[in-house]
Chains A and B, each alone.
Chain A
Amino acid sequence: MSLTLIVLLPFIGAVLPAIMIRAGRNACATATGSVTLLALILLMAKAPAVIAGEVFQVSYSWLPELGLNVTFFLDGLGLLFATLILGIGLLIIIYARFYLSKDDPMGRFYVFLLLFQGAMVGIVLSDNILLLLIFWELTSLSSFLLIGYWKHLPEGRQGARMALAVTGAGGLAMIAGMLILGDIVGSYDLTVIVQNAELIQASPMYVPALILILLGCFTKSAQFPFHFWLPHAMAAPTPVSAYLHSATMVKAGIFLMARMWPVLSGTPEWFYIVATAGLVTMVLGAWIAIFKHDLKGLLAYSTVSHLGLVTMLLGFGTPMAAVAGVFHIINHATFKAALFMTAGIVDHETGTRDIRRFGGLLNLMPIAGTIGIITAASMAGIIPFNGFISKEMMLEEAWHTMWFDQNWVVPLLATVGALFSVAYSFRFIFHVWLGKPRDENLPHHPHDPPFGMWAPPALLTVLVVLIGLFPATIAGPLVAATAGAVVGGELPEYHLSLWHGLTPALGMSVIAIIGGSLLLLRHGGLMSATANLSRPDAKAMFDCGIAKSVALSRLVSDNLHNGSLQRYLAIMVIGAIGIGLSGFYAQPDFQSGSRELLEVSPPAAIGWLLLVVTCVAAVFMHHNRLLTLLLVGVVGLIVSLGFIYLSAPDLALTQISVEVVTVILMLLALNILPKETPKESLPGRKMRDGIVSIAAGLGIGGVIWAIMTRDLPNTISSYHLANSKTEGGGTNVVNVILVDFRGFDTFGEIIVLGIAALSIFALIETVTKGDAAKRLASWVVELRRSPNRHPMMMVVATRVMLPLSLMVGVYIFLRGHNEPGGGFIAGLVVSVALIMQYMASGFGWAQNRMKVHYHGMIGLGVIAAAITGVAAWVAGLPFLTSGFTHVHLPIVGEFELASAMGFDLGVFLTVVGAVMLALAKLSQVERMAEHVDINAEPMDHDPSAPLVTPEKEA
């Protein structure tokens, strides 16, 4: 349990700084620090048992179907890293309190820092690799936030983006690699995976998985050739550099290599990829570091170099090299974090980080200077500090390593790397702290920082010295526990101490120290000699790569997505035809089925002929829009007739009432739109569209022909037919399906309809502004208007019809459950009845009498349907389960009452509301265009008014 708490504490605690910052910066830092301290105490409570060899494990199932469970475990390796993350994290929190200036939002900094901390602890304690990947990506994200913390600095933003792009891309590769690994083993639990080394290494997918996982590790740990992002991430505040880029995040890749060491290492592939990358990184990073004038830049490349060192040791694949690697992880974390903090102190106190301006700072800042000199000596590998011991172990291992059967390559390059390392470390010591001051006009007058700022690095320096003097006592148990966890078995005999006698490694060390010192003496000459060498600028290359990929994606999207609807539609239709054709050619045995066909009756033949004629006419005469509209109306009518002929009375009723509403709607639209379509398509375009459309028609027609000539397989429909009466309480199966069996579908559909109507409302409400309003105001009536706008005959007839048609609507609604009808059809019929009033008596007159808000009606309908559904919950049944009962009333007689009626009422209200809202809004545009006032009277002439003779009026 407390294992979970260690991971969760930083996440939960991340809210604290955001709240506590109101109570001041000290309170904020204290709150943040206590979160980390608490987690560290919990961890330390387990440390003795872990060092003694125990492994703690805790597991909760999360998505067991995917193999994704929340499982944590704590072994030696996890303990080492968790201690580094929490321990150095605590020091960084203290340090940052004094480092950040008053203008920096401290609360936000600590929030990001704790999020990062939690993600890191999550990585090192995860047992499930999928969970590990989640934390892995979280570190990329939170480090992005931390690197870009000073968001006013362009370098900060660019550095953050580069870090995210590189580590994020590596993380994606790693996900793929991990999935392959999980697939080979059949489990996503690390503890299971590490026991299946033989299975994994024998798999043909071993090499791809290895490469993908290493991509993730190398990008995260800044290994060549992905090392370039780390120096740019140094734009971050120094506490971030010290924490993320020396002690923790960049070690995540190394952690994973160590974690996977038992299963992935030991093969030639592992050796040549990992050891070579490490070796190159170590030498290259150290070489570049020598020439960096920026204090943090020097440290950044030195970090790259040291990470390469550890990677190389892990790459050797021998248990002894793993011990050395683990030991160096500890040592590097201590001296490098302290060095970064020292660099931050120098930056803070002098106002610059340019090494060329320093010199003799030791006299001005004795405490910081001492810390800096000791830790830099450790970095150089000088006796008696801890860096010396692990460097000796590294050289010893390098001495025994063959590279492509050559015994001199690795020792030579390792010595060269150590030599460069000495050179830049001595440069840090001699050019910054010792010698004469080179620039008297530093931005600030330097002096030692406040206690809170030098205490954290001082503590680490004490560790550097103590581990150096008493390695076996201080670090021995932790190294043993960690290395044991890495190797996953017995460790070889080894002895951590300063003096091993006159070994080859000692000789290499002496060469490195002497050579490094000579190199530094010649530094000035070396600088000018290499100044004119052209070296690749990683940032320029990265930016160029990004710019190229942006240009490529823009090229693709601009061509596919050029803003032409005609092109989109053509691509879509041609694409669909292509997919259909590819299926057709895959199995080119297109055959009609053997189902018995229906006879063609004379009415059906006439209807078909009419359909063909109207369709073809609609295409050929589509320039005359009014005619096209009428032809489409005819098509709709034939389709409804077809439905009724083919045993679908409900569809026929729906289709015909929708047809009426649609034609009215299009007529209204056509009043505004141009009445003619200009003939502008070129013959070539017409030809292309014609071929495409005929292909589409042939395809669709062929498919449905093939379907209709085959028998219907047994579907769920038989269930619907059998249970419609008994379960749904209705004999109209179509309606029962709509309101009961598939009520949830219908519920969604009425919501869509409501949204469509509201979108129409929104589109028209805003038409009164901008260009549209100007065009409406200057709109000229094109067509001749009838002098009798509201003929008396029609007014009277529709008014007589209104109660009748409303009653028909109610009737259709009520009988819908058992006979053709229902909410959809009733809603359409009632809408048509209402629209007729508007048409006959004029919008204004009708609207004044219509006291219903159509928006409200849509909402009411959806709510009514929802309430019916929720009512089933009250009865303890699933959403939208309907019930029905038979009621006996004295005069009416027995009738059925189904809860589905409430649902159908909701459908009815939504349909009426949506249809009426759409049409009412459209007629509002018409009114604006026609420039006529709303008619208060239903008719042009009031029949009841006394006759007025023309003479009198004149």
Chain B
Amino acid sequence: MEFLVASSIGLLTTCGTYLLLRGRTFPVVVGLALLSYAVNVFLFAMGRLTINMPPILREGVTEYTDPLPQALVLTAIVISFGMTALIVVLSIRAYLEIGNDHVDGRPVGEPSEAGDKN
């Protein structure tokens, strides 16, 4: 099981990073979303993997999984949503302002509308 989780985290990181390095805003957003999954699961797995031991206190039960990474990841998930929403809106705004969705403001080799400043 640990191998599955570790390989999933690695794969999510690889795919997320690759998409993150693309030149258009949408793949970058998607890449960031995949990276967020990887990071969240990574943090969660710091508490080690357990089955059927949720951190809900019960009479007569003494073994629980580590609750702390879960609490940290819970807020991280919500914050990643806030971040995703923000960059989605940023990319829309950028697209509307400059007329293309390249992350650098213009596709490679094309002068920007305002003239090439460099």
Contact = CB atoms under 8 A, between A and B. Distances in A.
A359 to B, nearest CB: 58
Interface in A683-700: 689-690, 692-694, 696-698, 700
A944 B99 CA distance: 45
Interface string B22-61: 1111111110011001101110111111111111111000
Looking at chain B's contact residues, the main secondary structure is: helix
Given A566-B23, A733-B56, A646 B49 contact: yes
B57 A721 contact: yes
A645 B19 CA distance: 28
Interface string A686-725: 0001101110111011101101110110011100110011
Interface residues of B, number: 90
A692 B21 contact: yes
Contact of A598 (B7, B49, B103): B49
A763 B89 contact: yes
Given A681-B22, A708-B5, A721 B64 contact: yes
Interface stretch (A108-116, A526-534, A672-680, A898-906): A672-680
Interface stretch (A137-145, A264-272, A603-611): A603-611
B90 A673 contact: no
A97 B5 CA distance: 79
A622 interface: yes
A749 interface: yes
A643 to B, nearest CB: 7
Given A764-B93, A775-B96, A721 B88 contact: no
Contacts of B98: 771
Given A628-B30, A642-B41, A760 B67 contact: no
Contacts of B34: 615, 618, 632, 635
Interface string B55-94: 1111000001111101101110111111111101111110
B45 A622 contact: no
Nearest to A697: B14
B89 A921 contact: yes
B1 A824 contact: no
A742 B72 CA distance: 9
Contacts of B52: 647
B51 A673 contact: no
A51 to B, nearest CB: 67
Given A566-B103, A738-B74, A708 B6 contact: yes
A404 B12 CA distance: 72
Interface stretch (A395-403, A435-443, A538-546, A650-658): A650-658
B54 A651 contact: no
Contacts of A689: 17-18, 21-22
Contacts of B66: 712, 715, 717
A563 B48 CA distance: 41
Q: Is the interface of A mostly helix, strand, loop or mixed?
A: helix
B67 A717 contact: yes
B27 A666 contact: no
Contacts of A820: 54, 56
A654 B1 contact: no
Contacts of B37: 635-636, 639
Nearest to B54: A647
Interface stretch (A30-38, A750-758, A930-938): A750-758
Contact of B6 (A625, A635, A701): A701
A616 B75 CA distance: 28
Given A720-B67, A721-B55, A738 B75 contact: yes
B11 A648 contact: no
Given A628-B27, A824-B78, A666 B11 contact: no
A648 to B, nearest CB: 5
B67 A733 contact: yes
A698 B10 contact: yes
Contact of A651 (B33, B49, B51, B73): B73
Among A562, A697, A712, chain B packs the most CB atoms within 10 A around the CB of A697
Given A700-B38, A732-B56, A820-B54, A615 B79 contact: no
Contacts of A742: 71
A9 B8 CA distance: 68
Contacts of B65: 646-648
A696 B13 contact: yes
Contact of B83 (A672, A756, A771): A756
Contacts of A678: 24, 107
B36 to A, nearest CB: 10
A36 to B, nearest CB: 54
Interface in A590-606: 595, 597-601, 604-605
B26 A632 contact: no
Contacts of B118: 562
Contacts of B16: 693
A700 B13 contact: yes
Contacts of A619: 15, 18-19
Contact of A704 (B9, B88, B90, B95): B9
A338 B43 CA distance: 72
B6 A704 contact: yes
Contacts of A434: none
Interface of B: 1-30, 33-34, 37-38, 40-42, 44-58, 64-68, 70-71, 73-75, 77-86, 88-93, 95-99, 101, 103-105, 107-108, 118
18 contacts: A565-B28, A616-B11, A635-B12, A646-B5, A689-B21, A693-B13, A693-B16, A696-B13, A701-B6, A701-B11, A704-B9, A708-B48, A712-B47, A715-B66, A724-B57, A733-B57, A749-B78, A767-B93
6 nearest CB pairs, A to B? A701-B10, A697-B14, A598-B1, A756-B82, A772-B96, A737-B71
Given A611-B12, A734-B74, 7 more contacts: A573-B20, A622-B30, A635-B12, A647-B54, A694-B14, A697-B11, A737-B68
